[in-house]
Amino acid sequence: MASTVQGVQNIIGYTFNDSDLVREAVSAAGSIVAAGTRRFPNGNKRLAILGDTVLQLALAEEWYDGIEPRATYDRIRQAVGSNNNLHSIGLASNLDAFVNLAAGGRTVSPITMAATVEAIIGAVYLDANNMDTVKAVMDTLGLTAASLG
């Protein structure tokens, strides 16, 4: 799994202190993965929920510093955080090559890819404990309002 950890780190431009967080982040729901004493019976579901919330917080902070109306924030949050966008970002970044699928899985579904991107954001948040680092990773992946064009 060392190549998985290194591969994900290379893509997102962040080196984890706790590599188990990467392993958890790329473990699709239903996959069976353990790292050390940690087990991930629900795959990356918990990290994906955290990552979704962190993603929204980062976007809200970016919006808060500007002068745009609330409707602009809602549009940005929906566009950047949509499963469709997260899926596209994951594929464009080649993160799908590192997803640990459930038994019998052959391809990474759009929902699984979206959850994996969210889980990676959640993992960075837990590992770095720093929103600026999370925002840098989001920027690397193209998960910002500016990436909407």
Catalytic residues: 52, 118
- Rg value, the chain, Cα: 15
Q: What is d(CA 132, CA 149) in angstroms, rounded to the nearest whole number?
A: 22
Ramachandran class of 125: left when φ > 0, alpha when ψ lies in -120 to 50, beta otherwise: alpha
- Provide the 3-class DSSP secondary structure of residue 93: coil
